[in-house]
Chain A
């Protein structure tokens, strides 16, 4: 278990500041979209909150799942590294806990997680991980100032256009996910 700088890789809960949908009142479309979004969404306050707009949730989940889980392209552990660095940069404690766990499961190690919690700017156990972390921070903090110099380190470690686009998608969609998680509710310690 890693706890540093207010971040953790422990399982957290999330509490909504809005009224989550009550499952007994859900329409058939809302149930269908919940089920296609995430395995536990019928009991998740986050998904039940977003389910107030089922078609918006449907397309968000399709984008999210295609970006984070589709086979080929950038290795999934590296997409999770991008997601974790963005979440730490944006201060999203809940998202960080989830994606630190995913990284650990996929990479079968946690050394990079400790480094990201300590300081995402210098994090990375290899040149490739450092290039990924620095690109994730640049896209998050100064999208309009991005330029060739931000892409060059990714090319230097051998990433193809398709892999860079996979990373860009993973990093950008956490600009989306973090904003919802941090502004529609808050993390809470897990009851379990």
Chain B
């Protein structure tokens, strides 16, 4: 069952299973600015208009990153957003395969640093501003899924130690 969409929770709380009243929910609030900027990053990365990069395609990329990384609860979040997105039925960009390939490489092997990959995105029709948005999105999700995984591990540790 997907977590309830409680008020006063953000995407990370819901993906990590934190609810108001939990000690970890409260400990996270110690860094209110981080919470706010993380959620604002998520929203801007998905919603800011970008030439050549629809919100639906960005959601497809984000869900793909989470699936590859094994982040099931976040993958569900992005898939649910995609299912509710007004642009989901429009045809996806012809550059989507190149975007997904770039996202997969960036997710699994950040060491690679492949200039040719950026050239492939340009040839697929993306401008530099769209490439920056795509790279920011993939890199952000790599951050977000690690925060969620770490919070889940902290929850598991609470069960082990008083």
Contacts and interface: CB of A to CB of B under 8 A. Distances in A.
B156 A151 contact: yes
Interface stretch (B3-11, B78-86, B89-97, B137-145): B137-145
Interface in A96-112: none
B143 A18 contact: no
Contacts of B149: 139, 143-144, 146
Contact size range, B = 35 or more
Contact of A169 (B111, B135, B147): B147
Q: Which of B27, B31, B118 has the most CB of A within 10 A?
A: B31
Contact of B132 (A53, A66, A169): A53
Contacts of A165: 27-28, 30-31, 150-151, 154
Interface in A151-192: 151-152, 155, 160-162, 164-166, 168-169, 171-173, 175-180, 182-184, 186
Contacts of B41: 56, 59-60, 63
Q: Which of A72, A160, A175, A178 has the most CB of B within 10 A?
A: A175
Given A67-B34, A92-B110, 18 more contacts: A49-B128, A49-B132, A53-B48, A53-B132, A56-B48, A56-B132, A63-B34, A63-B41, A73-B30, A144-B149, A146-B153, A147-B153, A151-B157, A168-B154, A172-B143, A172-B147, A182-B111, A183-B114
The 8 closest A-B pairs by CB, nearest first: A63-B37, A62-B37, A161-B27, A172-B146, A176-B143, A151-B157, A144-B70, A66-B33
28 contacts: A18-B118, A50-B136, A52-B129, A53-B133, A56-B41, A56-B133, A59-B37, A59-B40, A60-B140, A63-B38, A66-B31, A66-B33, A66-B37, A70-B31, A91-B111, A92-B110, A143-B69, A143-B145, A143-B150, A165-B31, A165-B154, A169-B34, A169-B147, A179-B106, A179-B142, A182-B110, A184-B131, A184-B132
Interface of A: 17-19, 49-50, 52-53, 55-56, 58-60, 62-63, 66-67, 70, 72-73, 90-92, 139-140, 143-144, 146-148, 150-152, 155, 160-162, 164-166, 168-169, 171-173, 175-180, 182-184, 186
Interface of B: 23-24, 27-28, 30-31, 33-34, 36-38, 40-41, 44-45, 48, 50, 69-71, 106, 110-115, 117-118, 128-129, 131-133, 135-136, 138-140, 142-147, 149-154, 156-157, 159-161
